[in-house]
Amino acid sequence: MSSEPMDSNGIARRRSEKHAAFLAFAEALLRASRGEQDPTSMDTRQFVTFFVRDHEFGIPILQCREIIRVSTITRIPESPAHVRGVVNLRGRVLPVVDMRKQLGFEALQPTSKARLLVVEAAGRAFALLVDRISRILKLSSAEIALATGDAPSTLVGNSLLGTARIEDSAILLFDIEQTLGAASSAAASTPKE
């Protein structure tokens, strides 16, 4: 960041860009909750992207309900290693899945940037603990390539939708319902903490 003070036009422009991005996200969630497609293109899909360690991942925006700050997570004894505990979200108790553990990494120590991504999978709501939220992407089918060998083994199979290359980064796109469904069925054989 520059040490020069930003003028009022620069501040206003930055606020305007953030406001526009927030409105686009809110509009996409509203359309998704109604089951509507983006009117500009029927060939595009939208993804919410987030970081787990240094890797950027994306899930279809239709599977995302909301993004919230990390609140108190209550541990559950004898739960699978990837289940961090539960949170109370406006009277609903949601299981918290640590996406680092789910993807085969070490557990996340939440920071101020960590978020809970509330998703619907297998008819249930889950909160995904991620390092940080990145962006909302609109991708055409042509922009989604077959996944490379970079994918964690827990994403191999039906849950992996492909890879999107944006600027210098590769974003792994996956179906959270398939991923959490596979994790639930394997929970019996997963070591408990």
More reliable by pLDDT, 162 or 150: 162
DSSP string, the chain: --SSPPPHHHHHHHHHHHHHHHHHHHHHHHHHHHTPPPTT-SSEEEEEEEEETTEEEEEEGGGEEEEEE----B--TT-BTTEEEEEEETTEEEEEEEHHHHTTSPPP---TT-EEEEEEETTEEEEEEESEEEEEEEEEGGGEEPP-TTS-GGGTTTTEEEEEEETTEEEEEE-HHHHHHHHHHHGGGSPB-
pTM above 0.75, yes or no: no
pLDDT tens digits, 83-123: 999 999 999 999 999 999 988 899 999 999 999 999 988 78
CATH entry 2.40.50.180 includes domain 38-189:
yes
pLDDT tens digits, 19-33: 777 777 777 777 777
